[in-house]
A and B are shown apart, each in its own frame.
Chain A
Amino acid sequence: MLAPVIGILMMSVLAGVFNYQTQEQGKLLTRLQNVDFERAQKLMQLSNHMATNHTQIYELLQTAETVTDEGEFYDEGKRYLYNIFSIETQIEEQIEQGPDSASLSKSEIELFESLLKHISDYRVNTTNAMLMATVDLALAQSVMSNSTKQFNLLNAKFLAFNQSIQQRLNQRLASHQDAVEQKAGLFSGLFVSTIIFVLLLSGILSSVLSRDLQRVIKKLGDLVSSQKKQEGSASSPVNELTTLAIAIEGVRESHASLKQARDNLNKSNQELSKSYATILERESTLEELNAELEIKIVEGKKAEELLLEAKEDAEKANEAKSRFLATMSHEFRTPLNAILGFSEMICSQVFGPLGADKLGAEKYAEYADDIHHSGNHMLLLVNDILDISEIESGRRIITKEAVDIDEIIKDCVRTIRKQVEDKCIELSVELPDEVPFLYADKRSFIQVLLNLLSNAIKFTKQNGSIVISVNSGKEAIEIAVKDTGVGIDPDRLGRVTEPFSQGVKNPYEAQDGTGLGLSIVKSLMETHDGELVISSELGVGTAVTAVFPASGLEERPNVGSFHTPNFTH
């Protein structure tokens, strides 16, 4: 049984060795052939270069008679001479190439060297011809014809070289093929002898092995019978087969006990894994409980935070309300004082009996006017406060509808016309080509616009200008009122929409108005989901923009400009 295996192994080894050898040799051959082939190619190339160069030199010499710039003639010629130098260098490289068996034979090296010598002679000759060309062309041409003869010789040498390389290529190939054939024969011989060897080997081995096997069985039998003698059992005739049977029986017994022990081990293993599973379960339950607890804690904290925030907000709102009330009362006090004061003066007839003389009449008329003015002021205050509280508590009725911006602006402009004229302020309106409809409460919009305009007028001096502009975009519609007034102090800019704060606290400026205008406007914008944008520069002007969300209503083209008659001043 073993023998054929060994045989196959040996044969495969042999085959492998043979294969490897053949491959290696094949590679070597290819390498050598390549080197020679490339060398032959290179030489062909160089001889071609030589030929081209020679032709160019010849052509150059033809021009020698009519040459005007000798320098250029020299430059060109020098180039061709450099080419020949380069060819010589490349041939030298070919000689140095190829170690070991790719190297050239002695005769080939000699051939190369003589080739080089000829090229060098050719070069010198050609140089001389070129040097003479511009001086004595005839002489130069005869020198050149010598060069040409040398050139032809060179060509022949190149050719000879190529042929010798070709020969070597063919020879090498032939000898390689012979070698391969030889090897093949050798291998087949080896193959046959291996088979014979293997057969012999198997015969020898089988006999050797059976002898050993018998020896082993005998030993085993002695062992078992000695055991049996100790146990005191009847000794039966011991022969090989019985001994073997007894031995087998013993093995079977021990095998059974082993099996038992293994089963026990398995059982205890199972129990262990069960208890382990229970432990894992308990652990996961504990983890879940833990996680739930944590979530509860976080939620509790959040609720606490929210409560605190709400408390703070309530406190702040309360504060704001108290402040509002205080300021409001203060605002009422001022006109009330004026009413009381002036009416007292009339009562006590400070300027003499009523209707008595001119001075008294003037003064009393003045006081009456002041009282009336203060009363009006208080009425405005009350109205505005009512407005604010209505808006903020949501009791103001807002009906949103499509509002024609154009019309409203015209109306407002009409309303404030007199005030603008009195102050000689230039008012202009900028509308886009297509004015969209605004979706808002009409009354609120009018209120906003009038408020912004009255502020602009109030704070703009004589001969200033005010611009109302409307800008509509995808997201929003902006209505802006820009003036060239006194502007708002940057410190106060943030607080200007708070109740009772007016931009510039200058007692000499007219203080008409309640100070609630902008806060009303702001609240109104908030109810429309819009915003109020204020920008200002002291001494330059202010721009207040009411930004409404886009209405999405169809745009109606502007009906064209309209002029109201000019009012001369």
Chain B
Amino acid sequence: MRTSLWTVHQSPICTEVLRIIPFGRIWSVVLSLVILSIFTLMTLTSVNAQQAGTDTPEQLVEKMKQGGYILYIRHAATDHSQADKDLTDLSKCELQRNLSAQGKEETKIMAMALAKLEIKVEKVITSPYCRCVDTAKIAFDRYDIVEDMRATFYTNEAETTHLGDYLKSELTKKPKAGFNTVLVGHTANLRDVTQVWPKPEGVVHVFKPLGEGGYEHLGRITPVEWAPLAGIN
């Protein structure tokens, strides 16, 4: 049994239907997705962030033993009473600033450590400056002099870019399995390309080549750290 209703409704002439956007739910989802993707993007790109490189020397040694890394070695300590006088002919060592006795000593120790830790080196590329050649000679007794490794101190923009490109390509190349590549060079070149300023003289910065993807800076080993690492003296 139903009741018949007899009410007279007073409806306004126009009844509008307001659609209220559920701001809370949908928008917050969208916003969080956006933030998440930005964050992911940043993390991915920061893979090549140059200032990272936080591996400890021990970790670096372990990795180098496996092979597949690039060792960028700044030339060993030099005698700062000497100065680069004339760089037109880089074979003339007497017109350049060369290694000091300390530098030569530290390089020998590094060589011994590398041998003891069985860190294998496929090839050695060096800048033509005498201090770099000497470092390579003492450490590995073999080297390839590459003109494009020369310092970018005195070069103009075009030349600096050219040398930078060369270094960049070297940092992305993978050595053969089980081996590492050594680059002996200067502060300026590494700074131009990777924003890393290798310090002090003789320091080794380790990079992981990623082929087409670039490279990754892992960390560094200073000259004084080799002896304890390898258990020498």
Footprint of B on A, CB under 8 Å? Answer: 69-71, 74-75, 78, 82, 85, 123-124, 127-128, 131-132, 135-136, 413, 420-421, 424-433, 463, 469, 471-472, 558, 560-564, 566-569
The smallest C-beta distance from A471 to any residue of chain B, in angstroms, reads 7
A-B contact pairs, 29 of them (CB 8 A): A70-B187, A70-B199, A74-B187, A78-B160, A82-B156, A85-B156, A85-B157, A127-B153, A132-B80, A132-B83, A136-B80, A413-B6, A421-B4, A425-B4, A427-B4, A427-B6, A428-B8, A429-B8, A430-B8, A430-B9, A431-B11, A433-B12, A561-B7, A561-B10, A566-B6, A567-B4, A568-B1, A569-B3, A569-B4
CA distance A499 to B94 in the complex (A): 124
Q: Count contacts between A and B, CB distance < 8 Å.
A: 92
Q: Which residues of A contact B6 (CB under 8 A)?
A: 413, 427-428, 563-564, 566
Instruction: With CB as the reference atom, state the residue of chain A lying closest to B78.
Output: A135
B13 interface residue, CB < 8 Å from A? yes
Asked whether, in the complex, the Cβ of B9 is within 8 Å of the Cβ of A71, the reply is no
- Which of B2, B3, B4, B12 is most buried by chain A, counting CB atoms within 10 A of its CB? B4
In the complex, the answer to whether A432 meets B13 with C-beta atoms within 8 Å is: yes
A70 touches B13 (CB 8 A): no
B188 at the interface (CB under 8 A from A): yes
Residues of chain B within 8 A (CB-CB) of A560 are: 10
Q: Are B8 and A71 in contact (CB under 8 A)?
A: no
Residues of B within 8 A of A432 (CB): 10-13
Listed stretches B101-109, B189-197, B208-216, B219-227; interface member? B189-197
Do residues B12 and A424 form an inter-chain contact, with CB atoms below 8 A?
no
User: A431 is contacted by which of B4, B10, B83 (Cβ under 8 Å)?
Assistant: B10
Contact present for B13 and A569 (CB under 8 Å): no
A519 CA to B156 CA in the complex, in Å? 99
Q: Is the beta-carbon distance between B9 and A472 smaller than 8 angstroms?
A: no
B122 within 8 A of A: no
CA distance A75 to B50 in the complex (A): 15
Question: Which residues of B are found within 8 Å of A561, using beta-carbon distances?
Answer: 7-10
Task: Check if B191 sits within 8 Å of A71, measured CB to CB.
Answer: yes
**Chain A residues within an 8 Å CB radius of B10:** 431-433, 558, 560-561
**B interface vs A, CB < 8 Å?**
1-13, 80, 83-84, 153-154, 156-157, 160, 187-188, 191, 195-197, 199
Q: Tell me whether A71 and B11 are in contact (CB under 8 A).
A: no
* Smallest beta-carbon distance A323→chain B, Å: 41
Least CB distance from B74 to A in Å reads 12
Chain A residue nearest in CB terms to B6: A564
Known: A425-B4, A566-B3. 13 other contacts (CB 8 A): A131-B153, A420-B4, A421-B4, A428-B8, A430-B8, A431-B10, A433-B13, A469-B11, A472-B13, A562-B8, A566-B4, A566-B5, A568-B1
Given that A70-B197, A85-B157 are contacting pairs, would A429 and B4 also be in contact in the complex, using a CB cutoff of 8 Å?
A: no
Please, which residues of chain A bring their CB within 8 A of the CB of B2? 424, 426, 463, 569
**B153 surroundings in chain A (CB, below 8 A):** 127, 131
Q: In the bound complex, do residue A471 and residue B197 qualify as a contact, i.e. CB atoms below 8 Å apart?
A: no
Min CB distance B202 to A, Å, is 15
Cβ contact of A428, chosen from B3, B9, B154, cutoff 8 A:
B9
* Distance, CA A518 to CA B110, complexed state (A): 110
Chain A contacts for B11, CB-based, 8 A: 430-432, 469
Please, which residue of chain A has its CB at the minimum distance from the CB of B199? A70
CB distance from B143 to the nearest CB of A (A): 24
CA distance A306 to B190 in the complex (A): 99
Per CB-CB distance, the 10 closest pairs between chain A and chain B, nearest first, are: A71-B197, A85-B156, A569-B1, A564-B6, A430-B9, A561-B8, A432-B13, A429-B8, A430-B11, A71-B191
Instruction: Count chain A CB atoms within 10 A of each CB in B8, B11, B154 and give the residue with the most.
Output: B8
A69 partner, pick from B7, B13, B156, B197, beta carbons under 8 A? B197
Residues of B within 8 A of A425 (CB): 4
Q: Give the distance in Å from the alpha carbon of A394 to the alpha carbon of B12 in the complex.
A: 38
Inter-chain contact B191/A74, CB cutoff 8 Å: yes
Report A-chain residues with C-beta under 8 Å of the C-beta of B154.
Answer: 123-124, 127
Give bound CA distance, A420 to B4, whole Å: 8
Of chain B, the residue at the smallest CB distance from A567 is: B4
The residue on B at minimum CB distance from A471 is B13
Closest to B97 in A: A131
Chain B neighbourhood of A424, CB < 8 A: 1-2, 4
**Least Cβ–Cβ distance between B173 and chain A, in angstroms:** 24
Residue pair A426, B4 in contact (C-beta under 8 Å):
yes
A128: which of B12, B83, B195 is its contact (CB, 8 Å)? B83
CA of A448 to CA of B6, assembled, Å? 21
CA distance A425 to B199 in the complex (A): 95
**A429 with B197: in contact, given A71-B191, A85-B156 (CB under 8 Å)?**
no
Q: Is the CB of A71 within 8 A of B3?
A: no
Contacting residues, chain B, for A430 (C-beta < 8 A): 8-9, 11
Q: How far is the CB of B192 from chain A (nearest CB, A)?
A: 8
Instruction: Across the interface, name the chain A residue whose C-beta is closest to B197.
Output: A71
A88 to B203, CA, bound (A): 36
Give the nearest-CB partner of B2 in chain A: A424
A122 → chain B, closest Cβ, in Å?
A: 13
Q: How far is the CA of A558 from the CA of B8 in the complex (A)?
A: 11
Closest to A135 in B: B80
Least CB distance from B195 to A in Å reads 7
| Cross-chain contact A428 with B80 (CB below 8 angstroms) | no
Give the residues in chain B near A132, CB-CB below 8 Å. 80, 83
CA A559 to CA B170, docked complex, whole Å? 93
**Complex CA distance for A246 and B80, rounded to whole angstroms:** 126
Please tell me if the beta carbons of B83 and A71 are within 8 angstroms of each other in the complex. no
Residues of A within 8 A of B160 (CB): 78
How far is it, in angstroms, between the C-alpha of A503 and the C-alpha of B88 when the chains are bound? 109
CB distance from A550 to the nearest CB of B (A): 14
Q: Whose C-beta in chain B lies nearest to the C-beta of A134?
A: B199
With a CB–CB cut-off of 8 A, which chain B residues contact A564? 6
CA distance A94 to B96 in the complex (A): 35
| Centre residue among B3, B6, B9 by max chain A CB count within 10 A | B6
Q: Within 8 Å CB of B12, what residues of A?
A: 432-433
Query: How far is the CB of B79 from the nearest CB of chain A, in Å?
Result: 11
Q: Which residue of B lies closest to A70 (CB)?
A: B197
Closest to A71 in B: B197
Q: How far is the CB of B35 from chain A (nearest CB, A)?
A: 32
Q: Which residues of A contact B7 (CB under 8 A)?
A: 428-429, 561, 563
Query: With the chains together, A432 CA to B191 CA distance in Å?
Result: 81
A567 to B199, CA, bound (A): 100
